[in-house]
Every structure is written in C-alpha cells, then in structure tokens.
C-alpha cells in the first residue's frame, strides 16, 4: 500500500472519529427529550405496570365480543346504511362548500390577496372545529337525525377539501396555462380549460379518500344524535352487550373494507382514462 494512500486513509479515519463523538449538545437534547416524554407519560397515567395490567383486561373485553350476535343484524343494518348516506351527502356538501372557497383561496386563480386570505381563513376555521362539535351545533339547529350529521361532515370536510383543492390548483403544471394565455384567452377560459382539467383527477382522488374517512367518522356521529350506527354502538356499550358491539364493529369493518376496494377500483379506472 503506497504511503499516499496510507496518509489519506488515516486523515479520513480521524475525521470520522471526530464526527462520531458524542457532543455535549446531543446529550443534552436527548436527555431533555427523554425527560419530557417521561413527564408526558406521567400526565396520562401511562406506566409500564398499567399497560401490562391493561392488556389482559382489554383482551378479555374483545373476547367477550366473540362470537358476534348475528341476530342483531336486523336491528342495525338500517342505521349502518344510514351511515353511508350520511358520508355520501357529507362528501357532496363538503364539495359544494370546499370548491368555491378553494378556488378563491388559490393563488393562481384569485388575484386579490384579501380575498385569498379571507377564503383561507374561513377554510381553516371550518377544518379546525371537529365534526363532532359541528354535529352538536347542527343537532341543536335542525334536531336529531342523519341530516345534521351530513351537514357537520360537510362543514369540516369542506374546510379540509377546500384547502386541498387550493393546493392542487396551485401545483398544476404552468405550461398549459401560459400557452392558453398566449392565445389571448380570458381569465375564466384559462381557469376552465387549462387549470381545471389538470386538477380534476387530483380532486377526485381527494374526494374518494375523504369519503372513506367520512364513513369512519360517520360511524360515531350517532353518539351525539347525528345519525348512523353510532347511536346503536354507544347504547350497546353502555348496556355492556359486548356481543352486539362485536357485530357492529364487524359490520363497520366490512363496510370500510368494501369501500376501500371500490375506491381503489374507481381510482384505477379514472387514471386509465
């Protein structure tokens, strides 16, 4: 081995050693992080002993759900389907709310900073308030039932979708936009023909995804009286009817799985076109 290679090897080796020593600030950061986590754990009563004691108890509860009470299907299939309707209309309303706001909030569509900021602000308020809280509000307004549930999802997911739509619009390929503007098209025409067609597949993907999430959310809206299977669920739990709970959970799992498959299929078809 030549001298030159030896010296170069040694110098890199030394540099490596220097890089890998534990610096004081690393140790301090790690210690602080550990201490923080321990403090958090204490705040939520999370102790290893608690967990080890909890696991068999929880396992026991899940065991009590088996076998599911199949006869209960008659009582719950209607609310279960209602959950789907709530999710469906929640999605539609969310699109109705989110689309105009999203367009307004997109930099490439709206020139006015004020309008954009305002639209973004509204979207942020909509999405930061949990759908359950919206549901409570709407139940107070229009009474119990699935309608307030759909409205609640519409509000919350409208905010979420609106933000996503705005992002998608802003991330569209600028090339076709420039081309259209060069032909002398009006602002509205540019939006319709250059921006919209590109952003549309992305919109559909978002809608499909949030529809799925919406179904899962809709399962619990019933707990505050906003329709769907949530009411039966909370009732069965409060009555300690675990086998009924097991059936409901199985139902929910089945619904979500089917929708998962369906949306993957639809997504595949759309992208092929």
Partner 1 sequence: MLIRNPSYTAAAMLSVRGLSKSYDKDIHALRGIDIDVKEGEFLVILGPSGAGKSTLMRCLNRLVEPTEGQIFYNDQEITGRRRNLRALRRQFGMVFQQFNLVKRLSVLTNVLTGRLAYRSTWRSLFYNFSKEDKRIAIECLARVNMDHKAFQRADTLSGGEQQRVAIARALAQQPSIILADEPVASLDPKIARQVLTYLKQVSRELGITVLCNLHQVEYTREFAERIIGMSRGKVVFEGTVAELNDEVLHRIYYRDPDEQDEQNA
Partner 2 sequence: MSALTFERAVESALQREAQVRWRRHLKLAACGAIATAALWYSAVQIKLSPAALVGGIPFMWDFITRLFPPDLAYLTLLGGATVETIQIAIWGTLLAIILSIPLSFLGARNTTPHVIVFHLTRLLLNALRAINELVFALIFVSAVGLGPFAGVLAVALHATGMLAKFCAEEIEGIDTGQVEAQMATGASRMQVILFGVVPQIIPQFIGYSIYRLDVSIRSATVLGLVGAGGLGFSLIQTMKLFKYHQTATCILLIFLLVLVSDWICAKLRRKVI
Binding residues for partner 1, per CB under 8 A? 1, 5, 8-9, 12-13, 15-16, 19
The item of partner 2, partner 1, none sharing an interface with residue 1, based on CB under 5 to 8 Å by kind, is partner 1
242 to 271, contacts with partner 2 by CB under 8 A? 245, 249, 252-253, 255-257, 260
Question: What is the total count of residues that contact partner 2 (CB under 8 A)?
Answer: 60
Q: Does 146 sit near partner 2 (CB under 8 A)? A: yes
- Tokens in use for 41? 């754990």
CA distance 131 to 149: 8
Closest CA to 219 of 202, 204, 236: 236
Nearer to partner 1, 15 or 60 (CB): 15
Q: Does 217 sit near partner 2 (CB under 8 A)? A: yes
Task: Tell me the CA distances in angstroms from 136 to 90, 132, 140, 157, 159, one per residue in order.
Answer: 15, 6, 6, 16, 18
DSSP string, 165-214: HHHHHHTS-HHHHHHHHHTT--HHHHIIIIIHHHHHHHHHHHHHHHHHHH
CA distance 81 to 267: 23
| CA atoms in the 13 A half-sphere facing the CB of 169 | 25
Q: Give the H/E segment covering residue 151.
A: helix 146-170
Site string for partner 2, 16-55 (x = CB under 8 A): ---------------------x--xx-xxxx---x---x-
The item of partner 1, partner 2, none sharing an interface with residue 9, based on CB under 5 to 8 Å by kind, is partner 1
The item of partner 1, partner 2, none sharing an interface with residue 185, based on CB under 5 to 8 Å by kind, is none
- Residue 202 has a CB neighbour count (10 Å cut-off) of 16
Nearer to partner 1, 5 or 182 (CB): 5
User: C-beta of 253: minimal distance to partner 2 in Å?
Assistant: 5
DSSP string, 8-54: HHHHHHHHHHHHHS--HHHHHHHHHHHHHHHHHHHHTT--HHHHHHH
Q: Does 219 sit near partner 2 (CB under 8 A)? A: yes
Site string for partner 2, 107-126 (x = CB under 8 A): -----------------xx-
User: C-beta of 171: minimal distance to partner 1 in Å?
Assistant: 24
The item of partner 2, partner 1, none sharing an interface with residue 257, based on CB under 5 to 8 Å by kind, is partner 2
Helices (H), 65-105: 73-105
Q: Which residues bind partner 2 (CB under 8 A)?
A: 37, 40-41, 43-46, 50, 54, 57-58, 60-61, 81-82, 84-86, 88-89, 92, 124-125, 128-130, 132-133, 136-138, 140-143, 145-147, 149-151, 216-217, 219-220, 223-224, 227, 233-234, 237, 240, 245, 249, 252-253, 255-257, 260
């Amino acid at each position: 081995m030549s001298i030159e290679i030896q010296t170069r090897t040694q110098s890199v080796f030394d540099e490596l050693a220097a890089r890998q020593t534990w610096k004081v600030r690393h140790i301090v950061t790690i210690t602080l992080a550990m201490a923080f986590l321990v403090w958090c754990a204490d705040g939520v009563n999370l102790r290893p002993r608690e967990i080890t004691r909890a696991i068999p108890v929880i396992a026991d509860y899940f065991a009590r759900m088996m076998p599911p009470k199949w006869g209960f299907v008659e009582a719950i299939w209607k609310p279960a389907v209602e959950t789907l309707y709530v999710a469906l209309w929640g999605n539609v309303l969310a699109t109705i709310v989110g689309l105009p706001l999203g367009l307004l909030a997109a930099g490439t569509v709206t020139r006015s900073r004020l309008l954009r900021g305002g639209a973004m602000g509204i979207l942020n308020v909509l999405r930061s308030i949990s759908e359950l809280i919206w549901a409570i509000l709407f139940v107070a307004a229009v009474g119990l039932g699935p309608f307030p549930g759909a409205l609640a999802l519409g509000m919350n997911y409208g905010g979420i979708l609106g933000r996503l739509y705005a992002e998608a619009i802003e991330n569209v390929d600028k090339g076709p936009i420039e081309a259209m503007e060069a032909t002398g098209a009006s602002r509205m025409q540019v939006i319709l023909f250059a921006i919209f067609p590109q952003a549309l597949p992305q919109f559909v993907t978002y809608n499909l995804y949030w529809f799925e999430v919406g179904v899962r959310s809709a399962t619990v809206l019933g707990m505050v009286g906003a329709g769907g299977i949530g009411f039966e669920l909370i009732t069965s739990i409060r009555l300690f009817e675990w086998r009924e709970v097991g059936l409901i959970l199985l139902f929910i799992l089945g619904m979500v799985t089917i929708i998962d498959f369906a949306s993957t299929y639809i997504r595949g078809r759309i992208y092929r076109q």
